[in-house]
Amino acid sequence: MDYKFLKIENEGGITTLRISAPKSLNALNSTILKELGDFVENIGSTTRVLIITGDGEKSFVAGADISEMANLNEQEGYEFGKLGAKVFRAIELLPIPVIAAVNGFALGGGCELAMACDIRIASAKAKFGQPEVGLGIIPGFSGTYRLAKLIGQGYAKEMIYTGKVIKADEALRIGLVNAIYEPEQLMPAAVEMARKMVACAPIAISLAKQSINENYDLDATASLELENKLFGKCFATKDQKEGMAAFLEKRSANFIGE
């Protein structure tokens, strides 16, 4: 599929995906969401780490496309929300690490897209928010779920009920992002983090991600049992044998993803 709104680069197992709709500050319309869904479905085995960012200097994703949403009826609104939620869930469930390099505005659907990624790092100029109530709607791409999980119900309710937009330093303080960089340092930092992940055992990372994601909604007993099972599965891989042999032999490991 040829993409109108996605720019994709791959080097050394690291794929960088830029959402590019400059006239709307990369706002998400149904076409962009479908392109994202197709990309995720067909990402391929050459990608070990995915970095998602926005094209340009101003915006990661400025929200969902209000011009498309304005005249939707109840059923159409439901379908549009379901499309976004499905795509973001597919990103969350990718068996590889996904880094959001938030280069500017991450509002509404943009904040929700960032939260679907495993790790968020931000430009010092980035701004985050779920301002939907000011438009007469609520977050529709899983924002009420993920924001509360990431920063707690108190902060999440304050952000959503007031629609306030926060700067990168506050996003760092409340745990919405992992780190802040000067704009010119953001992508190099994302790539450096990705390279560290590429150097590690891919099956182990995938199983660790599965354990963390599925533990979201389990009680302690079920969570620990899941972790134990996935821990055990690591010992059926060649990478585990190689990693521990390399450690004991005081050399660098050569992981092959098997």
- Annotated catalytic residue within 57, 112, 170, 225: 112
Residue 175: Cβ within 10 Å count: 12
202-248: CATH class = mainly alpha
Task: Tell me if the pTM is above 0.75.
Answer: yes
> Is it true that domain 6-198 has CATH number 3.90.226.10?
yes
pLDDT score of 195: 98
φ, ψ (nearest 5 deg) of residue 61:
-150, 120
φ, ψ (nearest 5 deg) of residue 27:
-60, 145
Tens digits of residue pLDDT in 34-89: 999 999 999 999 999 999 999 998 999 999 999 999 998 999 999 999 999 999 99
pLDDT score of 163: 95
Please provide the average confidence, as pLDDT, over all residues in the chain: 95
pLDDT score of 60: 98
- Interatomic CA distance for residues 178 and 137, integer angstroms: 29
11 flagged as catalytic: no
In terms of Cβ atoms closer than 10 Å to its own Cβ (0-12, 13-18, 19+), residue 253 is: middle
Domain extent listing, the chain: 6-198, 202-248
Q: Which two tokens stand for residue 175?
A: 């745990």
- Annotated catalytic residue within 35, 132, 225, 227: 132
- Side-chain-side CA neighbours of 233 within 13 Å: the count stands at 15
pLDDT score of 227: 83
pLDDT in single tens digits along all 258 residues of the chain:
789 999 999 999 999 999 999 999 999 999 999 999 999 999 999 999 999 999 998 999 999 999 999 998 999 999 999 999 999 999 999 999 999 999 999 999 999 999 999 999 999 999 999 999 999 999 999 999 999 999 999 999 999 999 999 999 999 999 999 999 999 999 999 999 999 999 999 999 999 999 999 988 888 888 888 888 888 888 899 999 999 999 899 999 999 989
92 flagged as catalytic: no
pLDDT score of 222: 85
